[in-house]
Amino acid sequence: MCGFAGFIDLNHQADPRSRHYRRTWLQAMGRQLARRGPDDEQLWLDEYLAFVFRRLAIIDVAGGQQPIWNEDRTVFVAVNGEIYNHLELRTELRDFHTFRTRSDTEIVLHLYEERGTAALSLLNGMFAIALWDSNRRQLFLARDRLGIKPLYYSQTDTQLIFGSELKALLAHPQCPKQPNWDDLKNPIPRSSYVKDIDMLPGGHYLLYDLATRTVNPSCYWSLEQHFVTDSQNASFAPEDYVVQYGELFVDSVRKRLMSDVPVGMFLSGGLDSSVIAAVAAQSHADLHCFTVIEPCTLLTGDATAAHQLATQLQVPFHPVKFEPTQILNQLNFSLPQFEYFIWMLDAPRFDLEWFFKHELHRYARTIVPDLKVMLLGQGADEFAGGYSNPARTPTADWPTYLATLHTKTLQPFFADRPVPQSWAPWLAAIAASQSTAATSMFQAEMLHRIMELQFHNLWHEDRTASSQGVESRVPFLDHRLVELLAAIPPQYQSALLWDKTIIRHMAQPWLPKEFAQRSKVGFVYGARDRSSIHQLAHQLLVNIFPDFFDKYHNTTFEPFSSDRLLKLFKQAKLDSQSRIDVTYKLLNCIAMIIFHNLCKTQFWNSTIGFLDCPSPLTTDSKFCVAFNQL
């Protein structure tokens, strides 16, 4: 997990003081990425480009400093993320190259010199790439196929500003700063929450040519190219898909263990994280596994399952106690901490799931200070049928599930709102899939989930991990696995994707049957009784609202009135049926106002240092004792 930011401003040469200003702005942008890359900072300024890189050292810790230059120092590259097949790719280079590091980043540089943008199709990994070709006066930016690593950009008449996080762009004084509240009109947002700042979609790259000043995002990968609609064109028989998926999955996990520093994982106790842990533990006996112990995870059985599996695998297990009546006091949680979360998330939104994951990362770094890599089970459900039969809202069979997709309106995800032009092909593919027979609806759902992952799950997983100097890795989102699932023809989907059958069967050599057959439950919110979560949300609101109102009521309460907020707070304090809904609504109103204030002030020239290590949370020893007595 690293971070970079930069800008090209073609007007700066007219001002003799410009180098000083550019360096000052660049340093401010770098400060916003300090938590993401705490190990090193490198700045580069030339006649055209200003660039800063913040490093989290994972591969070639001593020698992998970025950016990395080619032999004649005409081209440099910087990568946020990892290229897992970099050693294999070294053998595929056509020309002689002198490698100066053991870093996975350097392979991108030399592949680009040989093959240009076609090099992207050879990379297996998660990445955001910035490559500067000084001879061509051209900047190359690219994002991995599924959008695991973030990349923002904003273009004005004379400049391009770009970076790994929104806050880094906002630190530039000439960056647009007007919040885009239209982004909140859908459950999943569409862009950056700020007008005229875009996210480069996954599977895309852009070239910024100084001569033409044009930004044209181009697609180098799309999932619909891998769809199979007729079983006669299928690559395998149904049972062969399970075998092939299992082989690719094991290879994916092993690739994501590539690290020169300790690796851990979030072991929820569900199927996805359990099978990752089982495979990873074969080669990493010191795989530290972290689990949330909270009334909801106990009610669903996830916590108990996680403990059972960790015991069987004989890996270090850390059941982290989240006691709803104590946690806010333990963290001394007040308004500054809530402001930190809005700053950290790059968004006018707040959710307790993100809070839990942030604190789990912080606890992990406290217990294992050298830990910088965390494996996650993210991404399995989206493409393997994980939402087809959840425990809380089961469906009868695959046709019934497809019927719910057929009636589900996917298009309003972007309806009647402007979207980046580069997203148009995906929207067209979704619309085309919806117009076909019901059996192809799951392929439309896959396209929808790609966008949803980038704007929601992968976004918050990236921010909560990077805020603690941790890189999260997602084995189920190896593009080879996703492409294989896309290639399952509709006639085979019922047998392979209903209730995530392909993963359950694939997991059998690695997991006992009781783990492979566990039902899908949501993290934290999966229990039917979620009173502990609601209690925590309400107490959080009570903690922060008085100070929030005192601090912000003299500012513009855009987009809400102060009277309206006071009325909601009084309603939230009442013990009524609407208390829960009002609590969450008001927390998000507060988040929007704080975000608006951050955008409109010069706050971005500083950083927020709250919620650093050490974590005040503890291992739930009572849970361990009770479990061992069963």
Question: How does DSSP assign 76-125, residue by residue?
Answer: EEEEEEEETTHHHHHTT-SS------S-TTHHHHHHHHHHGGGGGGG--E
Using DSSP's 3-state secondary structure scheme, residue 362 falls into: helix
How confident is the model at residue 172, as a pLDDT? 94
Distance CA 151, CA 3 (A): 9
Q: How far apart are the first and last CA of the chain?
A: 40
Window from 110-114, 224-228, 500-504 with minimum mean pLDDT = 224-228
Share of the chain above pLDDT 70, in %: 88
The residue ranking higher by pLDDT, 17 or 470, is 470
Per the CB < 8 A criterion, the answer to whether 456 and 208 are in contact is no
pLDDT digit string, tens, across residues 267-290? 999 999 999 999 999 999 999 999
Q: Position of tokens 């943008």?
A: 117
DSSP element (H, E) containing 325: none
DSSP element (H, E) containing 185: none
Structure tokens at 408: 């589900």
How confident is the model at residue 175, as a pLDDT? 93
From residue 412, alpha-carbon distances to 172, 190, 362, 409 in Å are 33, 11, 37, 6
Q: What is the mean pLDDT of the chain?
A: 88
Work out the pLDDT band at 190, boundaries 50, 70, 90: low
Residue 92 phi, psi dihedral angles, 5° rounding: -95, -5
Question: How does DSSP assign 204-218, residue by residue?
Answer: EEEEEETTTTEE--E
DSSP element (H, E) containing 471: strand 471-473
Q: Which of 270, 376, 364, 273 has the alpha carbon at shortest distance from 319?
A: 364
- Predicted confidence (pLDDT) at residue 437 exceeds the cutoff of 80: no
Q: Percentage helix, strand, coil, to 5, in the chain?
A: 45, 15, 40
What average pLDDT does range 596-617 have in this prediction? 75
Distance CA 456, CA 450 (A): 10
How confident is the model at residue 414, as a pLDDT? 43
Q: Position of tokens 């922060």?
A: 544
Structure tokens at 274: 């359990």
- Predicted confidence (pLDDT) at residue 530 exceeds the cutoff of 70: yes
Q: Position of tokens 């941790």?
A: 470
pLDDT digit string, tens, across residues 92-106? 898 788 899 999 999
Instruction: For residue 612, give every residue at least 6 positions away whose Cβ sits within 8 Å of its Cβ, in sequence order, or none.
Output: 362
Structure tokens at 510: 């690695």
Task: Look up 219 and say whether it is catalytic.
Answer: no
Per the CB < 8 A criterion, the answer to whether 591 and 446 are in contact is no
Work out the pLDDT band at 233, boundaries 50, 70, 90: confident
What average pLDDT does range 160-189 have in this prediction? 88
Question: How does DSSP assign 111-122, residue by residue?
Answer: HHHHHGGGGGGG
Structure tokens at 90: 């070294």
Work out the pLDDT band at 417, boundaries 50, 70, 90: very low
From residue 360, alpha-carbon distances to 195, 222, 231, 267, 536 in Å are 33, 34, 44, 11, 16
pLDDT digit string, tens, across residues 570-591? 988 887 778 889 999 999 999 9
Q: Position of tokens 């100070």?
A: 547
Residue 321 phi, psi dihedral angles, 5° rounding: -80, 120
Evaluate if pTM is beyond 0.75: yes
- Predicted confidence (pLDDT) at residue 478 exceeds the cutoff of 90: yes
Degrees (nearest 5) of the Cα angle 587, 195, 131? 110
